Amino acid sequence: MNIQTPISQTIPTGQRPGSRKVFQDGVLHPCLNVPFREVAVHPSAGEPPLTLYDTGGPYTDPRATIDIKQGLERPRDAWVLARGDVEAVDPRPVKPLDNGNARGKHLAPQFVSDRRPFRARAGAAVTQLDYARRGVITAEMEYVAIRENLRREADAAVIRDGEDFGAAIPDFVTPEFVRDEVARGRAIIPANVNHGELEPMIIGRNFLTKINANIGNSAVTSSVEEEVEKMV
C-alpha cells in the first residue's frame, strides 16, 4: 500500500523546540563550522545538554536564509578552490531527460544559476580517496573527524563501552585516522567537487551509522517544494 503523507508546502526552517544548533570550528582548517544538535535534558537536575549528530543543514540554522529557487549557500566551494586543482567550465545544456522527460504541469521549473561547474585540471585527481593516498588531510576529513566525535573530547567522563568486533577504533576520531581509513579503502567521504553546499560525512565500519534517503520530485504526485519538505 502506498500511503502519501500530507504535505503543507511550507518548508520548516529555524530552531527546533527543546534543542539548539551549535557549531565547532576546525583547527587544521579554521574555516570549518561543524554543526551539532544540543538537546536540553533536565537542567533542573543539573544534567548537561546532550550533543547529537545534526543533519538539519541550513534548514535548522537560524542564521540561514532559505530560498530553494536560489539554491543553498556553497561554503565548500572555497575549500575546493583553495586546493588549486580544479577549473571552471561551461555547463552543458539541460536536457528533457534531466527532468524525467516530464511535461506540462509535471515539469519542474529549471533551476537558474550562473555558476560554472568544476572539473579536475589536466593530470589532477580530486577525490577524497586520492588526497588520502597522497597523505593530504583535506578540510572534508577534518570536518568529519570533528563531527564523528560529537564533542566528546570536552567530557572528562567518557567511558569506553560496547563491542568493537576486532576493529581498531581510537577513543577520539582524528583527522589523520579519517585519512588513513579512507586511504585503506575502509571508508568513503562522498564529496563531489560540484556539491559545494554539502556537509561532509563519512561511511565506514569504524564510524557512526548513516541512513540513506532518495529524494526526487515525482512527475505525477509531488513538487520540488514538497520533496524539500520531506527531506527537512
What pLDDT, on the 0 to 100 scale, is given for residue 38?
A: 93
- pLDDT surpassing 50 at residue 1: no
- Please identify which residue in the block is written with the cell numbers 544540543: 38
What pLDDT, on the 0 to 100 scale, is given for residue 161?
A: 67
pLDDT digits (tens, 9 = 90+) for 143-197: 999 999 999 887 766 666 677 777 778 889 999 999 999 999 999 999 999 999 9
What pLDDT, on the 0 to 100 scale, is given for residue 219?
A: 64
Residues 6+ apart with CB under 8 A from 161: none
How confident is residue 94, by pLDDT bands cut at 50, 70 and 90?
Answer: confident
| Residue from 101, 55, 95, 67 nearest 201 by CA | 55
CB 198 within 8 A of CB 76: yes
What pLDDT, on the 0 to 100 scale, is given for residue 217?
A: 65
| Residue from 144, 138, 136, 132 nearest 24 by CA | 144
What pLDDT, on the 0 to 100 scale, is given for residue 7?
A: 45
**Structural domain boundaries of the chain?**
70-103+115-156+167-231
CA distance 41 to 184: 39
Q: pTM for this one? A: 0.85
pLDDT digits (tens, 9 = 90+) for 46-93: 788 899 999 899 999 988 888 888 889 999 999 999 999 999 999 888
What pLDDT, on the 0 to 100 scale, is given for residue 144?
A: 97
State the DSSP H helix or E strand holding residue 76, giving kind and residue range, or none if neither.
helix 76-82
